[in-house]
Amino acid sequence: MRFLITAGPTREYLDDVRFLTNASSGRMGYALARAALASGYQVTLVSGPVAIAPPDGCDFVPVRTTQELLEACERVWPECAGVIGAAAVCDYRPKIRATGKMKKTGGPLLLELVETPDVLAALGRQKENQFVVGFALESQDARENALRKLRGKRCDAIVLNAPTAIDADENTIELIDRHGVTAGEWSGSKTDIADRLIAWISQNLIGPASDDL
Ligand code: C5P
């Protein structure tokens, strides 16, 4: 049984050398990949650029942009039992990507941004007996926004955390199930939280780990 895990930031290029991104370290997603492997699942880890090495034994697909993340995930999605979306995806990209390196003009530069595709929502729309677990990083109206994402992306559960999670070793999360009910409130290292989340998914969203799916 294979888990699809997204991790790290995406990049959205202004030109060939400059991009928009965020400070995601990939630690949460990589810890989830390690925990899933340790529980006997196969793992495809699709990751934006990070400084850490992928765990041994996973199928690793490095990507840079949100569009690449979407294409990589859609390719493997039919073979997967479910997805955990831990990637910190850029919501916007520059409308135009210049070739080469943009020159200074001596005046202000206005950037027009357009929305990127929502990878998790796309997988949620295509799901067939597959689980979808999302992350919601919220700074205000946290639970309300997390519930909106849970429903909008057809998630089976959503992990609510705060901006302090970005680039940190530790995390504090609330796990919310598909009915909007709190299924766990955990604090600790991202490794501990990953272990607990994989155990919860095993018990609540799928049967015991097996090779025959
Ligand atoms: O950015 P947002 O708060 O909507 O992210 C919620 C969930 O959706 C996360 O699991 C994130 O990985 C995923 N997501 C995605 N593609 C996007 C935006 C978010 O897969 N374009």
Q: How many structural domains does the chain have?
A: 1
pTM reported for the whole predicted model: 0.94
pLDDT over 90 for what percent of the chain? 91
Residue at 100 is within a domain: no
Residue at 213 is within a domain: no
**How far is it, in rounded angstroms, from Cα 7 to Cα 28?**
7
**How far is it, in rounded angstroms, from Cα 99 to Cα 26?**
29
Q: What is the pLDDT of residue 213?
A: 44
The answer to whether 45 touches 59, Cβ cutoff 8 Å, is: yes
Handedness of CA 143, 138, 70, 73 (dihedral sign): negative
Q: What is the pLDDT of residue 168?
A: 86
pLDDT over 70 for what percent of the chain? 97
Please name the amino acid found at residue 149: K
- Ligand 1 atom closest to residue 137's alpha carbon, by position in its atom list: 3
Residues in the chain: 213
Count H helices, E strands: the chain? 5, 12
Q: What is the pLDDT of residue 82?
A: 98
Which residues form ligand 1's pocket by a CB distance below 6 Å? Answer: 6, 66, 85, 87, 89, 91, 116, 118-120, 134-137, 149, 153
Residue 211 alpha carbon to ligand 1 centre in Å: 29
The answer to whether 29 touches 8, Cβ cutoff 8 Å, is: yes
Residue at 44 is within a domain: yes
Residue 119 alpha carbon to ligand 1 centre in Å: 7
**How far is it, in rounded angstroms, from Cα 10 to Cα 23?**
10
Residue at 109 is within a domain: no
> How does strand 59-62 pair with strand 12-13?
unpaired
pLDDT, one tens digit for every residue, the chain (213 residues): 999 999 999 999 999 999 999 999 999 999 999 999 999 999 999 999 999 999 999 999 999 999 999 999 999 999 999 999 999 999 999 999 999 999 998 999 999 999 999 999 999 999 999 999 999 999 999 999 999 999 999 999 999 998 888 888 899 999 999 999 999 999 999 999 999 999 999 999 986 444 444
Name the residue with the closest Cα to ligand 1, atom 2. Answer: 136
Q: What is the pLDDT of residue 207?
A: 60
Q: Pick from 90, 118, 138, 175 the residue to mutate for probing ligand 1's pocket: most ligand atoms within 8 Å of its CB.
A: 118
Name the residue with the closest Cα to ligand 1, atom 5. Answer: 136
Residue at 101 is within a domain: no
**How far is it, in rounded angstroms, from Cα 110 to Cα 188?**
42
- In 48-91, at which residue ranges do the beta strands (DSSP E only) sit? 59-62, 82-85
Residues marked active site are found at 22
Tokens of 82: 């479910």
Residue 106 alpha carbon to ligand 1 centre in Å: 37
- Side-chain half-sphere CA neighbours of 210 within 13 A: 5
Residue at 90 is within a domain: yes
Q: Which domain holds residue 61?
A: 2-94+114-206
Q: What is the pLDDT of residue 21?
A: 98
Residue at 99 is within a domain: no
> How does strand 12-13 pair with strand 42-47?
unpaired
Residue at 162 is within a domain: yes
- Ligand 1 atom closest to residue 87's alpha carbon, by position in its atom list: 12
Q: Which residue in 140, 146, 150, 180 sits closest to 160, CA to CA?
A: 146
Query: What CATH number is attached to the domain comprising 136?
Result: 3.40.50.10300
- Ligand 1 atom closest to residue 134's alpha carbon, by position in its atom list: 10
